[in-house]
Structures are given as structure tokens and as C-alpha cells.
């Protein structure tokens, strides 16, 4: 089988470096790959769902809560990404598995039958927090709190750690596992 989808799971808030790795993967992989992040999905949602119990809320401590409308749209989004892969596109997904294995299971259902490479993107919480501050557009505390919890109960085909490793080097490690 040929890898159709690479799913990158790591903390949010510019802390883990998933977006940078996704861009680097697009450069180092020989075929063209589309890249989509959970941030693209959240940005595409109606503004009324941001800060709403039905949509998505961000707590002052960096916690994230999602409601029923968010979940319904998320299900459509994951099925849409899967449809692109089934139609022949190769896709890199940058996500944050706040629900641990349940988050992965949602993707597994949508991507059933496709060859998927599951990649864990780790980063030390303090380093991630520093990157979050430097970016300046995230809820303070989100990166540090998510650095660990998104990996609880998870297994991966490949793992990288961006604490001291550049995105390009991490992308090369992941690319070596693409079939």
C-alpha cells in the first residue's frame, strides 16, 4: 500500500512545531502533498461558534471545550479530508488529540481503508510555552498543558521531538517511514 495520509499529533499553540513539519514534509516528499491543520478547521467555522458552548471555547488556563455543533462539523471535515485522499490526493493532517485515543479513533473511522502514517510530535512543555509566548496569538498556558496530554494513551508509527530538533530534520525522519 502507498501512504495516502500522514497524521501529525502534538500540542497546539505553535508549541510542538507540527505546522512547520507539515510544510517541510511538502518539500522533502517526492509527490505533492496537501496540508491541513485543525487550526484551518477552527478558522473556517462560523465566528458565532468560537467562544460558544455549541462550538469551541478556550479557557484562561489553556483548556479547550467543544460542543455538539463543533463535533458535527469536525466529523464532516475529517470525512472530507478522507475523501480527498480516496480521490488520489496525499494529505498531511496537523491535529491536536485532546481526547487522546478517542480523538484518534474519530480519524481512524474516517480514514478506514487508507494507508495512514501516525506521527507523534513531542516537545518539552517549557520549550513549547516559550514558543507560544513568542507567537503571541494563543491562549497562554495552552502549549504547556497540551504538550503531555495529547500523547496520553497514544501509539505511533513514528515519533519526533522538536524540543531540540528542527522541523526539517523531523520531517526527514517522518518521510523515511512513508511508503
Q: CB 122: neighbour CB atoms within 10 A? A: 22
Q: Which residue has the cell 525522519?
A: 173
Nearest one of 87, 100, 143, 93 to 118, comparing CA atoms: 93
Residue 177, all three cell numbers: 517511514
Has 169 been annotated as catalytic? Answer: no
Sheet with 116-122, side-by-side order of all strands:
33-37, 90-95, 5-9, 116-122, 158-161
Residue 53 φ then ψ, to 5°: -60, -30
Burial annotation 47-82 (CB, 10 A radius, 16+ → b, else e) = eebeeeeebbbbeeebebebeebbeebbeebbeebb
Contacts of 76 (CB under 8 A, 6+ apart): none
Q: Residues for the chain: how many in total?
A: 179
State the catalytic residue, choosing from 39, 124, 157, 161.
39
Show which residues are catalytic: 39
Amino acid at each position: 500500500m502507498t501512504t495516502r495520509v500522514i497524521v501529525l499529533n502534538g500540542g497546539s499553540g505553535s508549541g510542538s512545531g507540527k505546522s512547520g513539519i507539515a510544510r517541510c514534509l511538502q518539500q522533502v516528499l517526492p509527490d505533492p502533498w496537501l496540508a491541513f491543520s485543525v487550526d484551518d478547521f477552527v478558522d473556517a467555522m462560523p465566528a458565532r461558534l468560537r467562544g460558544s458552548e455549541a462550538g469551541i471555547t478556550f479557557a484562561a488556563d489553556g483548556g479547550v471545550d467543544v460542543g455538539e455543533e463543533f463535533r458535527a462539523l469536525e466529523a464532516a471535515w475529517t470525512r472530507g479530508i478522507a475523501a480527498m485522499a480516496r480521490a488520489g490526493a496525499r494529505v498531511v493532517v496537523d491535529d491536536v488529540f485532546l481526547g487522546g485515543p478517542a480523538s484518534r479513533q474519530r480519524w481512524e473511522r474516517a480514514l478506514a481503508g487508507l494507508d495512514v502514517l501516525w506521527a507523534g510530535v513531542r516537545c518539552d512543555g517549557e520549550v513549547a510555552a516559550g514558543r507560544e509566548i513568542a507567537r503571541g496569538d494563543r491562549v497562554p498556558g495552552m502549549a504547556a498543558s497540551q504538550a503531555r496530554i495529547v500523547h496520553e494513551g497514544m501509539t505511533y508509527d513514528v515519533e519526533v521531538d522538536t524540543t531540540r530538533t528542527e522541523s526539517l530534520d523531523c520531517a526527514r525522519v517522518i518521510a523515511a517511514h512513508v511508503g
